Structure 1
Amino acid sequence: MKKLSLTMLTIAIMTAVSSNAMAADVPQGTVLAKKQELVIGNGTEPASFDPGLIDGVPGSHVADDLFEPLVTVDENGKIIPGVAMSWTKDPSGKVYTFKLRKNAKWSDGSPVTSKDFVYSWKRLVSSPSSYQDYLASAGVLNAAEIVNGKKDADSLGVKAVDPYTFEVTLKEPNPAFVKMLVHCSTDPLPQKVIAKWGDQWTKPEHIVGNGAYKLKSHVVNGSIVLERNPDYWDNAHTVINQVTYLPIQEKQDLNRYKANEEDITYNTINSDAYPQVKKDYQHELNVTPYVGMYYYVFNVNKPPFNDVRVRKALSYLVNREALSQYVTGHNEKPLYHFAPTSVEGFKPEKTELEKIPPAQRIKIAEDLLKKAGYDQSHPLVVNLMYNSSDWHKKIATAVASMWNQTGFVQTKLDQQEWKAYLDNLRIHNFDVARKAWIADYNDPSAFFNLLVGGGSSNDGDYRNTQFDQYFKESQSASPSNRAILFNKMDRIVNKDAAVIPMFEYNSQRLVKPYVKGLALNDALDHQYVKNFYIIKH
């Protein structure tokens, strides 16, 4: 008994962390501007401000300001406390105990408690969304069974031990668990507010959050204005008083920045303008690592895309090197794997496709299409769906040209607005669709989880039982064995041609010289406005 207690104490000491969290770190002697207000380009209109329904980077940017999860990250991407001051895990590695800040409050002044996390997490696993299975992938006890309708949400492995102690039980140890809690889908939620207003609870006049900012106003496709939340537990160290997010495309984003109507651009600069931007704004351009990938997904159950020969042919016809060199415009790295080569814990092996010269790939693709019953007199018709964006259109046009070059394929481009695009992905109403994934946490499982059979983010409805088994094993394997398992999964994905990986992302962002506090070494590109400040200029 004494030995067990000593072990528990040792683990607690080793895993407990400091209660200090990041905030604006203003160097001594810095003269701040009187007006602390920012305007930031944010890509597209978010589908929702509800953390459990966020789908895409633009929504995550806003959610990161309106809400705060148990843990966040510092400017280097390292885990630091959020609402949780500290946490411990038991000797089995399955039970985590989080101690919450007693001064954490909602924007209406009421306290944030462990019950708010219990409610949020149970709601997440029982409500259809792109992240419904997120806690299942994290290994939370009974999460998978709840998502699949086999158990009730009340059986989820979470407990409010007391108002400021939140306990989580995992099915098996998961080395990436705490890293996964940075994602906004794990944010606490105000149950009473949601019960009162239903799906209208995120409107400016109703929404209650626990982040450094609160929603002041929202004009759809116009602007999202956030103002400082005086009830935020670390408000004393927040400097920016107001931030306006603009859901605008790359060209308009850049033009507004040049006209001094914007302080920070979105993290993708118009590729046509990029060479000139590098020349004219070299001291304002910030290019940083970004753990994300760009790929096309097949609707694998829809003929003829249920034929692996068709999928492989289309993949072989995409010249990744040409895309990166001549089309994307940001020096992206060509990708042949279902995870970026830069992600922590992934050491990919060279694929068969990589070993084949581009010219030879075309001949192989033609042979595959012939065997599948297609030729120049009877071409394969492909509808390529992508969401509205100058950049996505440019890439889709280039890929269509690559597919069409042999005469064996006839491609139709299908550009859709963001919400319609998401709806069609969810109901599998497409042939081939543009996809991208920015990791929710820096681990290979953040990517391979997307292809687990039945997962809510598995838009192509790809299923392979061996792949699923390897993924399950990876959740509790040692670091060295996890690396082996991820390579096995990668080989399966490439053999089945379930997707077409294209390139790895980087982040390109223009920032006015007077804006300070951005995170430039976080591969997940979390940019918390509470850490920003404006110097006198």
Structure 2
Amino acid sequence: MHRFTKILARRLMFAVLLGGISSAALAETVFNKGNGADPTTFDPQQMAVVAEAVIAVDLFEGLMTYSADGNAVPGAAESWAVSDDGLTYSFKLRADGKWSDGTPVTAADFVFGWQRLVDPETGSPYAANLDAVANARDIRTGARRPADLRVRAIDARTLEVTLAAPTPYFVASLAHYATAAVSRANVDRFGADAFKPGHLVSNGAYSLTEAVPQDHVKLTRNPHFHDAASIRIDTVMLTPTADIEVELRRFRGGRLDMTYDLSGQQIQALQETVPNQVHVTPYRGTYYYAFNLTHEPWRGSPELRHALSLAIDRDMLARTVTRSHELPAYTFVPPGTFDFPAWQPKAARLTQAQRDAKARELFAKAGYGPDRPLKLELIYNVGESHERIARAIAEMWKKKLGVTTEFRTQEWGPFQATLEGRRFSDIARNGWLGDYDDAYNFLQLEPDGSGPLNATGYANPKYRALMAQAARETDPRRRGRMLQQAERIMIDDLPLIPIYRYMSRHAVSPAVKGWVDNVQDVHPTRWLSIER
């Protein structure tokens, strides 16, 4: 060893022993997170599910980003200006915005990312997120080219966007990872491999280091991030765990600092022992069952669809099955959604006994009963809570209507493909979590693949016309009434069964500081710290 190196090593050792430099200061700070399912992609325009969104929030920063409490705040854009008619936005990018390889993030990178998002060849599940931008819809449907999207780079730091109509929620929606920039230079260099570990460049607080299927995803602090000096966690280790009992054991054993989810029974047990570690918060989303309306008997029998919905005792599910304080849902859009007048259908105002009686009446009207029993298949992704809910609902259908239910389960990746391709016979579990605070995000319906209702194959011309009209409406109150009218039509048709409003459910170690419960259930690591 070189003499200078020996002296330096001795001084560091003595400093640690004497308290001049704590051993904690020299140690790597690691945040160990449970993450439910394995991510299937790290492409921000392809990511689609919560287990991927959790990662995207740390890897990518759009023009807007999320604060610690889940609100949209300036991200890659430091400021913006809006024209008097509300149609043209001029975003000014940060001068210190860089990719994880040290190259500047430019307005051209956003143009490329957005054109890629709406390009039908990309097949993005969130392509409709840019529908407010002029020509975006026509591009998604193949009527125009991606280059026709009304977004352009005025210079390296100035992005100009022209909307089809004034859109109040437009800026807030840009916190969603799908609207992140993409480095064209990196895509040109690596092609389809541009979004894999070792190749991916990101502009968020972290970069992708490793991804081992069924084992872990490793993110490390991005030294080129514009706010890198304030980042207090060096490494994020995400562990996919479909079995929440296994995940909780890892948490209790100190191998995880937070869980991806909790069951009702787990919540109850934890609240009795470590209540300060339980975080159960209303979540902007709806858990539901989707009918495949491209198949009979579902396509031609709204009576049958309503009968199955009415027979579900949602209050009993919350009390005895989920046990997580979920609110029963009879509509799709959560109450309290911005500029959307809340309402309840008649079914919500009945007692469960009245709903059961109506269910039997409609079931018979649809032609089913003892002489013609109904047999159906219910498919759901692997997970204890989904199984308990499915079996409880199937028992209700059996007891009240004589329905026989067969169950089919799939791992998350194949299950997503099943939903997107409508490759299920009868009914599939599903859920939708709002990407921004607007009813349109819940009610959007596009037959080409986007929108939460797409798995059902629902198609009602009146519904579609109202949604198109609402997209052009500039008066917020009139727009809200149009969206409510559209939902009334949809609930009357009932292509799906709303079951309950989501609750975010996590166990979080006291060592995690800066955690803020919020309806978006978004917790960027950049705002957190670990104090062990």
- Is the pair's TM-score, using the shorter chain for normalization, greater than 0.5? yes
Deviation at 1:455, TM superposition (A): 5.0
Residue 357 of structure 2: aligned partner: 363
- In 1: Cα distance, 2:36 partner to 2:455 partner: 22
The residue type equivalent to 1:482 in the other structure is R
Residue 314 of structure 1: aligned partner: 308
Q: Is residue 338–residue 493 contact of structure 1 (8 Å, CA) maintained in 2?
A: no
Per-residue CA deviations over 1:256-294 (Å, capped at 9, x if unaligned) read: 11111111111x212222211111110111222311111
* Counterpart among 426, 440, 444 of residue 445 in structure 1: 440
Residue 66 of structure 2: aligned partner: 73
* Counterpart among 113, 121, 146 of residue 120 in structure 1: 113
Are residue 479 (structure 1) and residue 473 (structure 2) matched?
no
Per-residue CA deviations over 1:10-32 (Å, capped at 9, x if unaligned) read: xxxxxxxxxxxxxxxxxxxxx99
Are residue 499 (structure 1) and residue 499 (structure 2) matched?
no
Residues 468 and 407 of structure 1: CA distance in aligned 2, closer, same or farther (over 3 Å):
closer
Structure 1 vs Structure 2: percent identity of aligned residues?
Answer: 35
Deviation at 1:402, TM superposition (A): 1.4
Deviates more, 1:52-61 or 1:245-254: 245-254
* Counterpart among 158, 163, 168 of residue 170 in structure 1: 163
Residue 179 of structure 2: aligned partner: 186
- In 2: Cα distance, 1:68 partner to 1:403 partner: 46
- In 1: Cα distance, 2:494 partner to 2:103 partner: 51
Secondary structure of 1:251's partner?
helix
- In 2: Cα distance, 1:164 partner to 1:317 partner: 57
Q: Is residue 291–residue 342 contact of structure 1 (8 Å, CA) maintained in 2?
A: no
Deviation at 1:163, TM superposition (A): 0.7
Q: Is residue 66–residue 524 contact of structure 2 (8 Å, CA) maintained in 1?
A: no
Residues 236 and 499 of structure 1: CA distance in aligned 2, closer, same or farther (over 3 Å):
same
Q: Is residue 135–residue 143 contact of structure 1 (8 Å, CA) maintained in 2?
A: yes
Deviation at 1:375, TM superposition (A): 1.6
Per-residue CA deviations over 1:59-83 (Å, capped at 9, x if unaligned) read: 0010111111000122333321100
TM-score by length of 2: 0.91
Are residue 534 (structure 1) and residue 527 (structure 2) matched?
no
* Counterpart among 76, 91, 95 of residue 98 in structure 1: 91
The residue type equivalent to 2:329 in the other structure is L
* Counterpart among 510, 514, 519 of residue 517 in structure 1: 514
Are residue 56 (structure 1) and residue 41 (structure 2) matched?
no
Give 1:399-418 correspondences, 5 Å limit. Answer: 399-418=393-412
Residues 33 and 473 of structure 1: CA distance in aligned 2, closer, same or farther (over 3 Å):
farther
The residue type equivalent to 1:325 in the other structure is R
Secondary structure of 1:394's partner?
helix
- RMSD of equivalent CA atoms: 1.7
Q: Is residue 116–residue 188 contact of structure 1 (8 Å, CA) maintained in 2?
A: yes
Are residue 40 (structure 1) and residue 33 (structure 2) matched?
yes
TM-score by length of 1: 0.90
Q: Is residue 336–residue 342 contact of structure 2 (8 Å, CA) maintained in 1?
A: no
Per-residue CA deviations over 1:34-58 (Å, capped at 9, x if unaligned) read: 3421101111111211110111111
Are residue 323 (structure 1) and residue 317 (structure 2) matched?
yes
Give 1:47-446 correspondences, 5 Å limit. Answer: 47-126=40-119, 127-136=122-131, 139-249=132-242, 250-266=244-260, 268-306=261-299, 307-430=301-424, 431-446=426-441
The residue type equivalent to 1:197 in the other structure is F
Q: How many residues align?
A: 501
Q: Is residue 82–residue 88 contact of structure 2 (8 Å, CA) maintained in 1?
A: yes
Q: Is residue 62–residue 174 contact of structure 2 (8 Å, CA) maintained in 1?
A: yes
Secondary structure of 1:201's partner?
helix
- In 1: Cα distance, 2:374 partner to 2:329 partner: 25
- In 2: Cα distance, 1:192 partner to 1:464 partner: 43
- In 2: Cα distance, 1:395 partner to 1:175 partner: 37
Q: Is residue 257–residue 512 contact of structure 2 (8 Å, CA) maintained in 1?
A: yes
Q: Is residue 32–residue 533 contact of structure 1 (8 Å, CA) maintained in 2?
A: no
Q: Is residue 125–residue 143 contact of structure 1 (8 Å, CA) maintained in 2?
A: yes
- In 1: Cα distance, 2:47 partner to 2:491 partner: 29
Residues 454 and 313 of structure 1: CA distance in aligned 2, closer, same or farther (over 3 Å):
farther
Deviation at 1:194, TM superposition (A): 2.0
Residue 23 of structure 1: aligned partner: none
Residues 485 and 453 of structure 1: CA distance in aligned 2, closer, same or farther (over 3 Å):
farther
Deviation at 1:443, TM superposition (A): 1.7
- In 1: Cα distance, 2:434 partner to 2:414 partner: 23
The residue type equivalent to 2:45 in the other structure is G
